[in-house]
Amino acid sequence: MTVQETGTDTGRHLGTDLDRAQFVQQWEQWHDEQERHLTAPHGFLAVTSLRWLDSEPARFPDAPGAWSSTDEGVVVHLDEGEELTVDGTPVHGRHSFGILPERASVSAVTGDAVIEVAKRGGHDIVRRRHPDSKLLADHTRAPAYAPDPRWALPGRYLPFDEPRPVTVGAAVEGLQHVYDAPGQVEFELGGHTHALTAFGGRDPGSLLVLFTDATSGVTTYAANRSVSIAAPDAHGGVVIDFNRAVNLPCAYTDLATCPLPPAENRLPVAVEAGERIPYERLGGEQAANS
């Protein structure tokens, strides 16, 4: 779940054509970067399989070795003639990846493919990523609403006294994720005040909000979208730029374990901004006409 941070300058109430043109240009640059990340040779569209590990060593047709989840973490046993490269070093025989923290991942290279070793929802998994993935080859640029400064909303960060563990569902049935929520973001929309639970973002002090709204399942992906928020200012002020609401990997592939939004993050209003249902899910022609 990696997204670009929303710049604080996007929240200005823009009044001139020059300001609007600059806003659109900045959004287009941001969306281009989103696409470069999504379509990287070993990005999420390159995932070709998802394997759930248990204590019994298992072999898979698209990865060397026999893989298992043990008391010392993920272990792979490589037969003679099999090899993986880990941190630039070839490995043979038995190799332990150690116990991975939740949501952490490490990579091993085999030929042109990368084997992602990760922990999701308390379970060890391996995912193969290959640049020849059909999903990557067939990808069409993610559709999105036209950027509009009206959707860059001022808000206020309301920190909790202590971060609260929040359990949410996942795109995989029966799986759960637990995130620490440092607080909520409050903003006005549709004549009402809304408060969304926020998780920690990628950059220090930044926030990440998972949400759905009245467009979900209609013009935007049904399960979730996310929006990143730059660190609050000294007075707790934030900008929630819904133009930069993005699809999570599960919008493109069933080989993802993405978290679902907390119940309180289901907005009853339509947020007609940000990325829409991917063509891969909706069908290119139908999406283009929606």
Separation CA 169–CA 183 (nearest Å): 19
Letter string b/e over residues 252-261, b meaning 16 or more CB atoms within 10 A of that residue's CB: bbebbbbbbb
Strands 89-91 and 225-229: unpaired
DSSP 211-238: EB-TTBTTTB-SS-EEEEEPPP-TTSEE
Separation CA 174–CA 274 (nearest Å): 29
DSSP label at residue 250: G
Angle at 10 between CA 6 and CA 15, to 5 degrees: 170
CA nearest to 104, candidates 1, 226, 209, 224? 1
Separation CA 211–CA 229 (nearest Å): 13
Give the amino acid at 78: L
From first to last of its 290 residues, the chain has per-residue pLDDT tens of: 333 333 334 444 445 666 889 999 999 999 999 999 999 999 999 999 999 999 999 999 999 999 999 999 999 999 999 999 999 999 999 999 999 999 999 999 999 999 999 999 999 999 999 999 999 999 989 999 999 999 999 999 999 999 999 999 999 999 999 999 999 999 999 999 999 999 999 999 999 999 999 999 999 999 999 999 999 999 999 999 999 999 999 999 999 999 999 999 999 999 999 999 998 887 543 444 44
Question: Using CA of residue 119, residue 125, residue 129, residue 134, what is the dihedral sign?
Answer: negative
Model's pTM, two decimal places? 0.88
